[in-house]
Amino acid sequence: MKILAIERAVRGANFGAFTPELARAEALRAWALYQEGVVRELYFRADKTEAVLVLECTDVEEAATVLATLPMVQAGLITFELIPLRAYPGFARLFG
Is the separation of the CB atoms in 34 and 96 below 8 Å? no
Helix (H) or strand (E) holding 27: helix 20-35
Owning domain of residue 59: 2-86
| pLDDT, tens digit (0-9, with 9 covering 90-100), for 8-51 | 999 998 888 889 999 999 999 999 999 999 999 999 999 998 99
Establish if 70 belongs to a structural domain: yes
Establish if 92 belongs to a structural domain: no
The DSSP secondary structure of 60-96, one letter per residue, reads HHHHHHHHTTSHHHHTTSEEEEEEEE----TTHHHH-
Establish if 50 belongs to a structural domain: yes
How far apart, in whole angstroms, are the C-alpha atoms of residue 34 and residue 32?
A: 5
CATH number at residue 82: 3.30.70.1060
Establish if 93 belongs to a structural domain: no
Q: Which residues contact 94 (CB under 8 A, 6 or more apart)?
A: none
How far apart, in whole angstroms, are the C-alpha atoms of residue 18 and residue 77?
A: 8
Q: For the chain, how many structural domains are there in total?
A: 1
Share of the chain above pLDDT 70, in %: 100
| pLDDT, tens digit (0-9, with 9 covering 90-100), for 39-85 | 999 999 999 989 999 999 999 999 999 999 999 999 999 999 999 99
Establish if 31 belongs to a structural domain: yes
